[in-house]
A = this chain, B = another copy of it.
Amino acid sequence: MCSRIEQCADEILDVIPLIMRSIRAKLRSQHSCGLSVPQLRALSFAERNRDAALADLSGHLGLMPPAASNLVNGLVISGLIKRTPNSSDRRRIRMSLTSTGRKELKHARQIAQKCLLEKLAALTPAECEQVSTVMQKLRVLF
């Protein structure tokens, strides 16, 4: 019997969707920014990984290729991402942010951050540090 770890699992199952919802709602409520969480993450990835291929994004986001393709397609249509064939292997694509994309990404990040900061402001610096530590550990696990 290992109740601590099971309790921990239950708590994660309870709390994670709550936080997701909060972030999503905030992104949507700011009408100047129409980005969803996956879109925000895709832009973030494209910014950090110059001329990334679709498979890279797909792997990073944990999506099946068609889902990633749709996601990118939406961003291309919105003018936030440029998608060009890779000249050395024309099966691959290369994604890069447009200048609008960069602006929108920055804006969306600020909104998401603001939402989180409002909540986290209630924490003491030590608690905040603890949250940070835990997030880093969880990132490694997932």
**A residues engaging B (CB < 8 A)?**
4-23, 25, 37-38, 40-41, 61-62, 109, 112-113, 116-117, 119-123, 125, 127-139, 141-142
Contacts and interface: CB of A to CB of B under 8 A. Distances in A.
Report whether over half of chain A's contact residues are helix, strand or loop; otherwise say mixed. helix
A71 to B, nearest CB: 13
Contact of A17 (B37, B109, B120): B37
A120 B18 contact: no
Contacts of A14: 135, 139
Given A128-B4, A142-B22, A116 B41 contact: no
Contacts of A4: 125, 128-129, 132
Given A11-B131, A20-B20, A25-B62, 15 more contacts: A5-B123, A5-B125, A8-B131, A11-B135, A11-B136, A11-B139, A15-B142, A17-B38, A18-B62, A21-B61, A21-B62, A119-B141, A123-B137, A130-B133, A131-B134
A18 B135 contact: no
